[in-house]
Amino acid sequence: MDFLWDAITEWLKEILVSGIMSNLSGMFDGVNDKVGEISTQVGMTPQAWNGSIFNMVQNLSENVIMPIAGVILAFVMTLELVQILMDKNNFHDVETVVFFKWVFKTACAILIVTNTWTIVMGIFDVAQGVVNQASGIIIGDTSIDLSSVMPDMEEQLMEMELGPLFGLWFQSLFVGITMWALTICIFIITYGRMLEVYLVTSVAPIPMAAMLGREWGGMGQNYLKSLFALGFQAFLIMVCVAIYAVLVQNISVSDDISTAIWTCMGYTVLLCFTLFKTGSLAKSVFSAH
């Protein structure tokens, strides 16, 4: 009976070990690919990321939004002239220099609106220049490879009892599903940011038309802050990936496969959570007074 039990136990061990190794072999492949793509994705300007979408958004901005911005600009600058005149004792004691001041301010406003697309893209070019310079300094190897952490993993698994092997198989299955979900999260973060960039830039002429207004100027200022936040969010994402690279390169566990799996998963969850926070963090930095 002992011989039969040993044979069944060995057979079950082989099945479980084979299942665990199969689960672990491709567990982090998707995450590794997506994390590796992050530096490439956030290092692109809106035009380089997708030229077709860029051209469509530019046409919408210049042909649909620009006329609306012209109407808003006319209203804002007319209101600005009325306020300037009212400041001089309610239309009395009006100086000629006031009109020159208003004409100069209006000319600047028109110049800003007509060059809105150039200004907006210039902001992203500056931000992407910072990101590209940082990428050569801070980004390292972001791939998770359990075989390098525990090279004799299969031998260790064969030495374990059936109970721990069953538990480890369920753990590897659960972590594999979690890694798949985290891969989707990373995709949403990186691609969602670029879609947000296109949406925000498509309506750029409207807030820029109110930039020099006394009462409406806050709209344009807040819009510029949001542009800088979106641009430099890419830099914060690069820093997150760099920290993640340092963490995964220094994974150190002592002959405990379960600890290795959960450590790798913990680092990946931490990366996703931090990537989600980069947007609000960047906005808080550029919105601080």
Q: What is the pLDDT along the chain (289 residues), one digit of tens a residue?
A: 555 666 666 667 777 777 777 766 666 666 777 777 777 777 788 888 888 889 999 999 888 899 998 888 888 888 877 777 776 655 556 566 767 777 888 888 888 888 889 889 988 888 888 887 777 666 656 666 665 555 666 677 677 777 777 777 777 777 777 777 878 888 888 888 889 899 999 998 998 888 877 777 778 888 888 888 888 888 888 888 888 777 777 665 555 677 777 777 787 888 888 888 888 888 887 775 5
What's this model's pTM, rounded to 2 decimal places?
Answer: 0.78
Q: Is the residue at 234 inside a domain? A: yes
Q: Is the residue at 105 inside a domain? A: no
Place of tokens 């989707």: 184
User: Residue 101: CB partners within 8 Å, gap ≥ 6?
Assistant: 84
CA 184 to chain centre: 13
Taking CA 29 as the corner, what is the angle to CA 134 and CA 241, rounded to the nearest 5 degrees?
Answer: 20
CA distance 195 to 238: 18
What pLDDT was estimated at residue 103? 84
User: Residue 21: CB partners within 8 Å, gap ≥ 6?
Assistant: 153, 154, 157
What pLDDT was estimated at residue 5? 61
Q: Is the residue at 236 inside a domain? A: yes
Q: Is the residue at 195 inside a domain? A: yes
Q: Is the residue at 12 inside a domain? A: yes
Contact (CB, 8 A) for 248 and 267: yes
What pLDDT was estimated at residue 234? 85
What pLDDT was estimated at residue 166? 77
Q: Count structural domains, the chain.
A: 1
In which domain, by residue range, is 257 found? 2-63+116-287
CA distance 156 to 226: 53
What pLDDT was estimated at residue 26? 64
Q: Is the residue at 259 inside a domain? A: yes
